[in-house]
């Protein structure tokens, strides 16, 4: 049997939302609504299957090739990077390039992403938490889910919480509250308009630190600027093929940071690439 990589997966015991698998066995680490605790594994369930994996069932070699294609391919298939970008510390808050791959599924009942560095190494996972069974059913039969509060937990490869993103229920414009792993608010991503090219304000302590500016009405590519209006990062959607776009809601993004900003703007820039789908694309699937 080919073992799955260490990561958080749905708890095979059914007692919790997620349980951490260390690459060889299930551990006592569990998580519910983004809160981690421990609960001993009474039995030894099978390792997570390919269907349970957060990376859509790709092997590690497949992941690296896919990331390389997304970064160095041409046209809609990739962002056209000529060469790897220097720098990076191995985490989502330090790497200059992040590849955000949403788990592709025919019916999307919750948001799941894997985050890779430019070399194809998985460095983080993004999971929607706090969804009840009733809400999943509601999401299946209606589109009102977009008006309800949505929470995303971002964890590193060891299961440690890095960021938490909360989008409160809304009517037209989205606001995403960005918190650290201890649920302390870092700042907010605030949608500025609902018509035309969508813009978001990056704010902390009541001050605007930067902006996210959509470069077309389909909201596929975004420029991120600081308070002076200088571009410091760019988010680009990569093309997964017509069939996948038509029949699934999976989106894939590449964040390229051209100039590392100081905190808290740096965390807000990273959170931008992880929350675009939640803040905007869920509300405009006909445009995406």
Q: Does residue 122 fall inside a structural domain?
A: yes
Cα dist from 133 to 17, 100, 110, 137, 195, whole Å: 11, 26, 11, 6, 33
Structurally, how many domains does the chain consist of?
2
Could you tell me which of 273, 110, 258, 111 has the C-alpha nearest to residue 189? Answer: 273
Q: Which long-range contacts (CB under 8 A, 24 or more apart) does 169-172 make?
A: 171/147
Q: Does residue 180 fall inside a structural domain?
A: yes
Q: Rounded to whole angstroms, how far apart are CA atoms 274 and 251?
A: 11
Per-residue pLDDT of the chain (288 residues), as tens digits, is 445 677 777 777 778 878 888 878 888 888 876 678 888 887 656 666 543 444 334 455 556 666 776 676 655 445 656 666 777 788 999 999 999 886 554 334 456 788 989 888 889 988 888 755 554 444 444 454 556 788 889 998 888 899 999 988 776 788 999 999 999 999 999 999 878 888 999 999 999 999 999 887 665 789 999 999 999 999 988 755 544 444 344 567 899 999 999 999 999 999 998 887 776 554 443 333
> How far, rounded to the nearest angstrom, does the alpha carbon of residue 172 sit from its chain's CA centroid?
22
Q: Does residue 288 fall inside a structural domain?
A: no
Domain enclosing residue 39, as ranges: 1-53
Is 220 found in the same domain as 178?
yes
Is 149 found in the same domain as 49?
no
Residue 210 tokens read as 């930067």
Choosing from 53, 68, 83, the residue where a domain stops is 53
Is 163 found in the same domain as 28?
no
What pLDDT shows up at residue 280? 56
Is 144 found in the same domain as 23?
no
Is 233 found in the same domain as 189?
yes
Is 77 found in the same domain as 3?
no
Residue 18 tokens read as 């997620």
Residue 206 tokens read as 């009541």
Q: Does residue 233 fall inside a structural domain?
A: yes
pTM for the model:
0.69
Q: Does residue 32 fall inside a structural domain?
A: yes
Is 109 found in the same domain as 39?
no
Q: Rounded to whole angstroms, how far apart are CA atoms 282 and 145?
A: 9
Count of CA atoms in the C-beta half-sphere (13 A) of 270: 29
Is 81 found in the same domain as 46?
no
Q: Rounded to whole angstroms, how far apart are CA atoms 108 and 54?
A: 14
What pLDDT shows up at residue 243? 42
Choosing from 27, 53, 79, the residue where a domain stops is 53
> How far, rounded to the nearest angstrom, does the alpha carbon of residue 128 sit from its chain's CA centroid?
9
Is 64 found in the same domain as 45?
no
Count of CA atoms in the C-beta half-sphere (13 A) of 174: 28
What pLDDT shows up at residue 54? 40
Is 18 found in the same domain as 128?
no
Is 102 found in the same domain as 117?
yes
Choosing from 53, 72, 92, the residue where a domain stops is 53
Is 152 found in the same domain as 30?
no
Q: Which residues pair with 97 in a beta bridge?
A: 256
Encode the chain in three state secondary structure.
CCCCCCEEEECCCCCCCEEEECCCCEEEEEEECCEEEECCCCCCCCCCCCCCCCCCCCCHHHHHHHHHHHHHCCHHHCCCCCCCCCCCCCCCCCCCEEEEEECCCCCCCCCEEEEECCCCCEEEEEEEECCCHHHHHHHHHCCHHHHCCEEEEEEECCCCEEEEEEECCCCCCCEEEEEECCCCEEEEEEECCCCCCCEEEEEECCEEEEEEEECCCCCCEEEEEECCCCEEEEEEECCCCHHHHHHCCCCEEEEEECCCCCCCHHHHHHHHHHHHHHHCHHHCCCCC
Q: Does residue 126 fall inside a structural domain?
A: yes
Residue 171 tokens read as 């009517």
Residue 35 tokens read as 């809160």
CATH number of the domain enclosing 92: 3.20.90
CB 226 within 8 A of CB 210: yes
What pLDDT shows up at residue 81? 62
Phi, psi dihedrals of residue 93, rounded to the nearest 5°: -90, 0
Q: Does residue 141 fall inside a structural domain?
A: yes
Q: Does residue 274 fall inside a structural domain?
A: yes
């Amino acid at each position: 049997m080919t073992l799955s990589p260490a990561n958080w997966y749905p708890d095979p015991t059914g007692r919790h939302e997620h349980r951490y698998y260390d690459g060889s066995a299930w551990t006592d680490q569990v998580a519910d609504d983004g809160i981690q605790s421990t609960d001993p594994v009474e039995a030894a369930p099978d390792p997570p299957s390919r269907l349970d994996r957060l990376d859509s069932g790709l092997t590690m070699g497949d992941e690296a090739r896919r990331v390389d294609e997304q970064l160095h391919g041409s046209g809609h298939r990739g962002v056209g990077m000529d060469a790897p970008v220097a720098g990076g510390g191995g985490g989502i808050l330090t790497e200059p390039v992040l590849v955000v791959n949403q788990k592709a599924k025919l019916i999307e009942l919750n948001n799941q992403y894997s985050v890779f560095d430019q070399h194809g190494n998985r460095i983080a996972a993004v999971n929607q938490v706090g969804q009840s069974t009733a809400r999943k059913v509601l999401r299946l039969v209606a589109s009102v889910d977009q008006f309800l509060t949505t929470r995303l937990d971002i964890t590193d490869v060891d299961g440690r919480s890095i960021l938490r993103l909360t989008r409160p229920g809304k009517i037209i414009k989205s606001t995403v509250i960005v918190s650290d792993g201890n649920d302390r608010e870092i700042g907010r991503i605030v949608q500025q308009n609902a018509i035309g090219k969508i813009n978001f304000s990056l704010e902390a302590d009541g001050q605007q630190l930067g902006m996210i500016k959509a470069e077309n009405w389909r909201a596929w590519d975004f420029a991120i600027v600081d308070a002076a209006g200088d571009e410091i990062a760019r988010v680009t959607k990569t093309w997964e093929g017509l069939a996948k776009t038509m029949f699934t809601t999976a989106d894939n993004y590449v964040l390229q940071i051209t100039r590392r900003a100081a905190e808290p703007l740096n965390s807000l820039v990273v959170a931008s690439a992880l929350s675009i789908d939640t803040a905007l694309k869920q509300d405009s699937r006909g445009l995406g």
